[in-house]
Each structure stands twice: as C-alpha cells, then as structure tokens.
Amino acid sequence: MSRKTSWLTPTPGQDISTRLPIRHLNTQPLQAASRGGQLSQAPTTFAQVTIVILLVLPGVSYQFVRERLRGLAPGHKELGERVLRALTAGIVLDAVYVAIGGEWLVRLVYDQRQGWLVGTAASPRLAALTALLLLVAAPAGSAWLLNRLAIRRAASAYKPTPTAWDDAFSNRSHCFVRARLKSGGWVGGWYGETSFVSGYPHPADVYLQSAWALSKSGRFENPLPYSGGLYIRMDEVECLDFIEAPREKGDSADE
C-alpha cells in the first residue's frame, strides 16, 4: 500500500525546491506544551492596561499634589521631565508597597495558577479600598509630608507660586502701577477690574486698563485722554512700582 505525503503550498515567489513535507515538521515543542497542560498564560490587553495604571498612578498622584503645594518650579516646566519625575516616584512607591504588602499584595494583581486580577475579582471591596489607599491616599500624604519637611528646613518663607511676579499679583487690589523703562523714562496707569497680568510659564507682562501721564521724576499727573489702556513688557522694564490708592481717588496718586 502506498503512503501518501502532504506538501505545504509555497508562497508566491518562493522556490518550489524548498517545499517540505508536513511529516518532517518538528512538532515536539507544541506536543511538550500540550502535555504540560497549557501554554504559559499571558496577560490580556485589559489586564495590561490595568497593570500600567497600577504602576503609574501612584507617581501621578504624588506629582499632582506636590505641584499643587509647592507650585511648578521653573526647571520642571518641561512635560518630559515632569513625566519622568512621576514615573520615578511611582516606581519608588510601588517598591515600598511590595516590600510592605509582600505576597498578599501581589496576589491581588496576579496569581500564578489562575492568572491576572483573579484576586481583585474575588474580593472587589478589599481591592477598591487597597487601590484608594495605595494609588491616591499614600502618594498624596507622602507629597504633603515631604512638603512640610521642606518648609521647616527652608531658611525663608516659601509660597506655592513659581515666581515673585505671580505672587505680586496673586491678591493685588486696585492700584496705580508705574514702570521705569531701561531707557530711563516712566510709564504707568491704573490697575483695575479690566486689567490683565500674565502668569507662569508665560513671559511677564501686564495690561493696565488706563494710561496716565507721568513726570520725569515718575509722578502721576493726569489720565491720558481717550486712553484704551497700556501694555507693558517686563523685558523692557528696569523696575516696577505699586502705589496703593482708594478707588474713588483715581484722579490722583499718592507718592
């Protein structure tokens, strides 16, 4: 009796001489895996996304609270650097969590026999409380504690504003503002309800809702007629002066 041999169909452009009979294919690795029960279980797409969130979110929470408390430092305005700091903080916090929680914490995410997130599905309430503690409360508390320690060690007062420019206008009431230009002249006007000031990280500038005429010594004399406002760029200014005055006395300036 003749024995029949099956052949693999060659792909387009493939040399027909390279065809191999199916009976010559090595199927031993697949047979060995099937004898072991099943192939090693890989995480699903949903599990992978969840794991990434678990690894990254502690650092994001820490970085967010830190920036809210201390402000955005001038050297940290680049998005890439902020992401790197968040990832670093997340890795450190995750390492601390595993060192404290040990195998119990790992089993909530992965079980060697049953797969990914089985422990979370078995105890959803416990998993939710653990997530709130480790992903939000602990990172926020760490950021707050480190901020308090930094304030105590600081030699001078620190406010959660990135520049003195932002702090000067953060709670500024209506007043006269005058600026001495690098050219030696004076300009100024009334800082009121419709005035506007830029904030970090944008360049420092200010719009005053009405412009005033100033003497050579910088004294306010009178509002300029038909003034539509005054725009001042700080890169052209040598110094800036705030002169507090009651709003009803807007026609004069106190020296």
The answer to whether residue 117 sits within a structural domain is yes
Q: Give the residue from 122, 153, 184 where a domain finishes.
A: 153
Selection from 220, 194, 226 nearest residue 208 by Cα: 194
What total number of domains does the chain contain?
2
pTM above 0.85, yes or no: no
pLDDT (tens digit per residue) in 154-212: 555 556 667 888 888 887 889 999 999 998 899 999 999 999 998 877 889 999 999 99
The answer to whether residue 60 sits within a structural domain is yes
Q: Which amino acid is at 71?
A: G
State which residues form the domain around 71: 45-153
CATH number for the domain that contains residue 189: 2.30.30
Is the same domain home to 136 and 177? no
Is the same domain home to 148 and 112? yes
For residue 190, the model assigns a pLDDT of 94
For residue 67, the model assigns a pLDDT of 78
For residue 187, the model assigns a pLDDT of 95
Is the same domain home to 72 and 141? yes
Is the same domain home to 52 and 148? yes
The answer to whether residue 131 sits within a structural domain is yes
The answer to whether residue 39 sits within a structural domain is no
Q: Give the residue from 121, 153, 185 where a domain finishes.
A: 153
Q: Give the residue from 124, 153, 182 where a domain finishes.
A: 153
Low-confidence ranges of the chain (pLDDT < 70): 1-44, 46-48, 71-77, 110-112, 115-119, 154-161, 246-255
